[in-house]
Amino acid sequence: MNKQHLRLHAEEQFHKELAALAETDRRPRPPNWRLSPWAVADYILGAEGVTAKYIGDRRLVEVAVATLATDRALLLLGLPGTAKTWLSEHLAAAISGDSTLLIQGTAGTEESAIRYGWNYARLINEGPSEMALVPSPVIRGMRDGKIVRIEELTRMPSDVQDALITVLSEKAIPIPELNQEVQAIKGFNVIATSNTRDKGVNELSSALRRRFNTVILPLPTTLEEEVAIVQKRANEIGHSLELPELASDLSEIRRLVTVFRELRQGQTDDGKVSLKSPSATLSTAEAIAAVNQGMALAAHFGSGTLSAKEVAPGLVGAIVRDPQPDTEAFREYLETVAKKREGWQDLYLSCRELV
């Protein structure tokens, strides 16, 4: 393991927890699973000696784990920043001990990313041969019986998506050029994620859709839950970026999350004032980024504690995406809500300086 890597894979970062769980896990494991479904759920949701990776509805995680154990594919849907990728990475790490079999869906993703490609030098030199074949992550996952992750499935062109149908129903990929096929061994499965905000980019065909069980990840339901997530993740990231340790100030994070939630919901938390929602997503992930930015500012240029001065730029950056209407919405928020709220003067003034 190389300590210099900017970001570690889940199975590297939490290898101790995974090992400890595997040690004590006495329940039956599906073929080629590193852990039993119970232990996977514990790994994700946290248990004794295990940190929680996903804070939220326990039942959703159980449905996700059970889905993978029935060898149906899992589709995680949600707004940007609802921990879809995060959850899929940890599921793969816990089940297969490997979260690296990854396909990133983009408009330019080709069928070869799902099936196989060719090493053209060899292909021309030797003709079609196994050596000339470049296996996709899907083929590797099928051969090793591992979980394959597909990110942003709906961003792929539809014809590429449909290449998955054979994979999911036949659990095999034919290679006509070699007169062979790759058959998946047990333990292979697919976790796909997709963003509900981009719905309709390349909507899944119903043939493909019905091969997935769908779990929709919600935004955190309560303020406390969201504050906890932001604080935990911001600290972890801060840690890996080796930011100097900050006096942990929950109240500053709480204020920031409150602003995000209120703008997102289009009303204040007490439901008394309705607000304009800016065009930005304002998900939990954005709140984490804004806190991190604030932490970096505080550590390098500020007093060392996170205060309104440091939080404001991140806040404004996240909220104002479309200058004219978003600025208007945020200003309205500052004037009608922030200004009047007790103890929010500093935040109000710091933000007002910027917009």
Partner 1 sequence: MLDAWEPNCVLLEGLPETPIESASDEQMQLPVAAVAYKSDDPSKSVFAPFAEFSPEWVGLNWALKRQAVVRFIDMPAAHLFARTWPEDRPPFDPFALIGEALDSFDGELWWDDQIEAHEGSSELFESVSELIRELRGDEAIGEFDALREAFMRLGIRQAIKAGKSRIAVVVGAWHLPAVERWQDISASVDEELVARLPRVEVQASWVPWSYDRLTRASGYGAGVLSPSYYEHRWRTPPAERTTRWLARAAEVLRSEQMDTSPASIIEAARLAELLSAIRKRREPGLGELMEAIQSVMADGRGEILRLIHKELVVGSRIGSIPPNLPSVPLVRDYEHETRRLKLIKSGEVEFDIRKPLDLERSRFLMRLSAIDVPLATRLEDPRQLGTFRERWLLDPAPELALRLVDASRYGNTVREATESRLIEELDELRSLSELSKKVEVSMLADLPNAALAAVERLEQVGAASSDVPGMLESIAVIAWVLRIGSAREVNASPLVGLLDRFVLRSTVGLPGASVGTNEEEGERLGALITPVAGAIDGLLPPTTSESWRKALLETIKLSGLSGHLAGRLERHLADLQLTSFEDQALAFTRALSPGNSHEWSSSWIHGFLGDSATALLYNQAFFDLLDNWVTGLDDRVFDESLPLLRRSFSAFPKAERRQLAQRVAHGATAKAETEMDKERLDKVNSALDELFGGLG
Q: For residues 170 and 353, which CB has a smaller minimum distance to partner 1 in the complex?
A: 170
CA distance 39 to 101: 22
The 209-248 site mask, x for binding partner 1 (CB under 8 A), equals xx--xxxx--------------------------------
Choice from 70, 112, 183, 279 touching partner 1 (CB under 8 A): 70
Candidates 71-79, 101-109, 147-155, 341-349 — which segment interacts with partner 1 by CB under 8 A? 71-79
Token pair for residue 223? Answer: 């303020």
Q: For residues 88 and 136, which CB has a smaller minimum distance to partner 1 in the complex?
A: 88
Which residues are CB-neighbours of 334 under 8 A, at least 6 positions away?
348, 351, 352, 355
**Residues binding partner 1: number (CB under 8 A):** 22
Candidates 68-76, 125-133, 288-296, 330-338 — which segment interacts with partner 1 by CB under 8 A? 68-76
> Which residue type occupies 64?
A
The 244-283 site mask, x for binding partner 1 (CB under 8 A), equals ------------------------------x---------
Burial 170-203 (b: 16+ CB within 10 A, else e): ebebebeeeeeebebeebbbbbbbbbeeeeebbe
H or E element at residue 175:
strand 172-175
Q: Is 62 near partner 1 (CB under 8 A)?
A: yes
Candidates 69-77, 115-123, 276-284, 295-303 — which segment interacts with partner 1 by CB under 8 A? 69-77
Strand 147-151 to strand 102-104: parallel, antiparallel, or no bridges (unpaired)? parallel
Q: Is 177 near partner 1 (CB under 8 A)?
A: no
Q: For residues 150 and 308, which CB has a smaller minimum distance to partner 1 in the complex?
A: 150
Q: Is 189 near partner 1 (CB under 8 A)?
A: no
CA distance 39 to 290: 33
Which residues are CB-neighbours of 184 under 8 A, at least 6 positions away?
141, 142, 143, 145, 167, 171, 172
CA distance 61 to 83: 12
Q: Which residues bind partner 1 (CB under 8 A)?
A: 37-38, 41, 59, 62-63, 65-67, 69-70, 72, 75, 77, 206, 209-210, 213-216, 274
